[in-house]
Amino acid sequence: MKYIYWIALIFLLSSCSLLTPLPHIASTDVNSWRLNGRIIISSSQESWTIKVHWLQQDDVYKLHLNTPTGQGAILLEGSNKIATMRTANNETFTSTDPDSLILEVLKINIPISHLRFWIRGIPANKPAPHWYVLNEANQHLDRLRQDGWEITFKRYTRVKGIELPDKIFLENDQFKVKIAISHWDINSDLYL
């Protein structure tokens, strides 16, 4: 009986191996961008289509989110320390974290703070990914599971010699999110 315990313990420990570290992915070096695209968010009851214009310069961001009809426009801007949302009705909301702001105001649990990384095809800094699938030939991620979300990088495009996603699917137990990026501009002088 004692040997069965030790064999089971060894088997359990060997199955708990850590993820191998990702090699350097070139999009990690992209720290400023401008992108235009569309986001479709769907739950079991509703679906929203949003046009997005995103400016990012290091830790400072500005996202213009618009419904196709132009109603319901939202401006989300901030940094690692503060996030501010302005609605089409001139209401202003502030928080230390954009995820809680989106949840509080829009009642949608979307990880805006992680999107900054996922939009570039890399894992967010924290928490560590549960798993990932790396396309070794192109040195970019095909799939990623992190913080309760499964991210599938459906398609990449080359921008200034760097592979960046232009079609991304996110899914968790509440939402499905499809992101289609129609235009990337990276590492330029962008003015927020």
Domain 25-186 falls under CATH 1.10.645.10: no
- Show me where the domains of the chain are located: 25-186
Which residues, 6 or more positions from 130, have their beta carbon under 8 angstroms from its beta carbon? 145, 146
Go through 68-90 and write b for each residue having 16 or more CB atoms within 10 A of its CB, e for each that does not: eeeeebbbbbbeeeebbbeeeee
On the question of pLDDT at 133 being above 90, the answer is yes
pLDDT, tens digit (0-9, with 9 covering 90-100), for 70-100 = 567 999 999 989 999 999 889 999 999 999 9
Confidence of residue 175 (pLDDT cuts 50, 70, 90): very high
> Is 0.95 surpassed by the pTM of this model?
no
Taking residues 103-111, what's their average pLDDT? 87
